[in-house]
Amino acid sequence: MNTLVLTAHGSRDARSAANVRAIARRVARMRVDIDVRIAFLEQNSPNLVDVLSRLPDTRQAVVSPLLLASAYHARVDIPKQIASAAIHGVRQADVLGEDDRLVSVLRERLAQCGVSDDDGLGVVVVAIGSSDHAANARTATVAAKLAMGTRWAAATTAFVTGPRPSVAEAVNQLRRRGARRLAIAPWFLAPGLLPDRVQSYARAAGIAMAAPLGAHRLVAETVLDRYDQALAGQAAA
């Protein structure tokens, strides 16, 4: 049996860790042939190094980042912690990225909060920004994917941390582009401190805001897809 180590950043907000556990349970139900474990880079336990160090010597493991962007944590932090564990047979999977399945979950979350296919609607996809410009550029493609096939007036991206535009700046841009109604689509996996900050802004501005992606079946399916890709790459090497 191989091991999938579902690895999240970690948060002071207990809801974030609870969402990681919910995704891990769903992944385990979908693939009973995999030993699914969870780990965190900081803030929560167990730590990734500790989880890897406790694996049986004969066990192959794939560290699957529960991250949307291929930025610092995926490119530097996780590889550093894997190397620190000094365990053979550990492979790192790709991040979840701007997968079409996740975009469809985001569209579903918008529908659940009452957002319709309205030609006067402007949608702001709000994400965590990075110092990596390429990662931000990839994140910015989500808005176009989300709007594809709709009659919305416009969709754009804002970042709650890091680069511009801010949420307020993106809202003003959409209004200038003719949006008569607005909605916020959070490109977050779980509730937490940053989504709460965006929610406070949305509530004060009278803007509808969808729920995060959460432990949706398609999130778990994307995790498993990245896991399978990592194993396939190992077999081909």
Mean pLDDT throughout 107-131? Answer: 92
| Domains of the chain by residue range | 3-97+215-236, 100-209
CATH of 3-97+215-236, one of 2.60.120.200, 3.40.50.970, 3.40.50.1400, 3.40.50.10420: 3.40.50.1400
Q: At what angle do helices 100-112 and 217-236 cross, to 10 degrees?
A: 170
pLDDT at 237 > cutoff 60: no
Neighbouring residues of 149: CB distance < 8 A, sequence distance ≥ 6: none
Sign of CA dihedral 95, 225, 30, 52: negative
DSSP H helix total and E strand total for the chain: 10, 8
**Sheet containing 208-209, strands listed edge to edge, beginning at the edge strand earlier in sequence:** 154-161, 121-128, 181-186, 208-209
The string of pLDDT tens digits covering residues 123-175 is: 999 999 998 999 999 999 999 999 999 999 999 999 999 889 999 999 999 99
Q: Give the whole-angstrom CA distance, residue 4 versus residue 93.
A: 10
Fold of 100-209: Rossmann fold (3.40.50)
Split at pLDDT 50, 70, 90, the class of 209 is: very high
Mean pLDDT throughout 103-129? Answer: 93
Neighbouring residues of 88: CB distance < 8 A, sequence distance ≥ 6: none
pLDDT value of residue 142: 97
Q: Give the whole-angstrom CA distance, residue 126 versus residue 73.
A: 19
Split at pLDDT 50, 70, 90, the class of 117 is: confident
Domains 3-97+215-236 and 100-209 share a fold: yes
- As to burial, measured by CB atoms within 10 angstroms (0-12 exposed, 13-18 middle, 19+ buried), residue 56 is exposed
pLDDT value of residue 234: 65
